[in-house]
Amino acid sequence: MTELIDGVTSYILMPESERPTLGQFYYYAQKHLTKEEKDLIKTSAAEQRNNKRLLISDSLKDVYGPADMVEIDACEADVSLVSELDPDQAIDRPIVYFMIDVYSRIILAVSVAFDNNSILGITNLFLNLADDKQEYCKKYGIEFNDKRLWPSGVIPKRIRVDRGSEFKSYEFDRICNEIGIEKQIVSGASGSLKGVVEQAFHQMHAKQNVHLENHGLIEKRYDSLHHKEASLTIHDYTRMVINFVLAHNQQHLETYPLTKEMEHSSCSCNIVGIRLKKIWNAAADTCS
């Protein structure tokens, strides 16, 4: 109950004789509160909206083909790196930016640097989008023959981002306006609204962390020795990210909801074993 004390509304306890017992309170809560209301009390409205809301569609809703919608996000990798000039000096954890096509799930561009919440990371991401990926990978000692594994020169129509400072900046707006890209910002504390790129980061960590043990892996423990165990440079870790991108772009999604046009597309029969098989090329044919 509340009471006005010196002009200030204050909460005071009821007399002990009027307070409910624990059993009475539990009975009342069980009878009068729904499961959603109890969950809201235990967590928060943001947590409930992000992870437990009613799903009435999927990420492909209102996405009409390849490069129609991409998602961009940044993630701090769970690894501590060392300086390229002094291998004994641990410096920082890298920031990985991904640009992923929502329709085909292909990672179109990456940026690996130490720029967090910075327009520099976004600029590097767009530069990588325009790069010849085969030439880019050769800089890190990686080669692949099929250009369809990692397309280059794609300009998306729309970009879906969160409310990070770099995405709300004037410079990012200027980049989007000059290239002719529509920017869409999702609600705050709702990472599931751009779940395609979030899932890509989850898969990256799941596949990399096994190999990063004893090499600077940041463990969520007080006795984590990542700074002492760190041995990878930014160049080494970029190689790991590139290898993940190439492996990711070759995966075939068995559960992907193919349209009738994709299933009967003649061009899709010539592309075997890569994600583009019935998605990128077939969809491009049906959209043209």
The 107-113 sheet, strands edge to edge: 107-113, 95-101, 69-76, 158-161, 182-185
Q: Are both 166 and 223 inside the same structural domain? A: yes
- Within this chain, do residues 144 and 7 fall inside the same structural domain, yes or no? no
Give me the percent of the chain exceeding a pLDDT of 70: 89
What pLDDT, on a 0 to 100 scale, did the predictor assign at position 265?
60
Provide the pLDDT for residue 42: 83
Which residue matches tokens 């009821």? 14
The pLDDT value given to residue 274: 43
Contact between 130 and 154 under an 8 Å Cβ cutoff? The reply is no
Of the two residues 271 and 57, the one the predictor is more confident about is 57
In a domain, 240, yes or no: yes
Q: Are residues 175 and 44 in the same domain?
A: no
In the DSSP assignment, the letter for residue 21 is P
- Residue 64 inside a domain? The answer is no
Average pLDDT over the chain reads 85
Across residues 33-44, what is the average pLDDT? 84
Judge if 92 and 219 occupy the same domain: yes
Tokens found for residue 168: 């709300």
Same domain for 211 and 81: yes
Residue 187 has pLDDT above 90, yes or no: no
Q: Which domain holds residue 17?
A: 2-51
Q: Is 62 within a domain?
A: no
> Considering only 134-138, 163-167, 188-192, which range has the smallest mean pLDDT?
188-192
Confidence of residue 133 (pLDDT cuts 50, 70, 90): very high
- What is the pLDDT, as a whole number, of residue 150? 92
Regarding beta strands 158-161 and 107-113, do their DSSP bridges make them parallel or antiparallel, or are they unpaired? unpaired
Residue type, 272: V
- Model confidence at 166: pLDDT above 80: yes
| 11 and 91 share one domain | no
Strands 95-101 and 158-161: unpaired
Average pLDDT (37-59) is: 76
Cα–Cα distances (Å) from 261 to 61, 110, 230, 281, 288, in that order, read: 17, 31, 50, 11, 12
Within this chain, do residues 11 and 40 fall inside the same structural domain, yes or no? yes
Mean pLDDT, range 117-123, rounded to an integer: 90
Range 208-237 average pLDDT: 91
d(CA 275, CA 273): 7
Examine residue 57 and state whether it is found in any structural domain, yes or no: no
- For 47, how many CA atoms within 13 A lie in the half-sphere containing its CB? 9
What is residue 186's predicted lDDT score, i.e. its pLDDT? Answer: 86
Looking at the predicted structure, is the pLDDT value of residue 71 above 60?
A: yes
pTM score: 0.78
Domains of the chain: total: 3
pLDDT at 102 over 70: yes
Place of tokens 């799903």: 55
Q: How many residues are listed for the chain in this entry?
A: 288
Q: Do both 178 and 80 map to the same domain?
A: yes
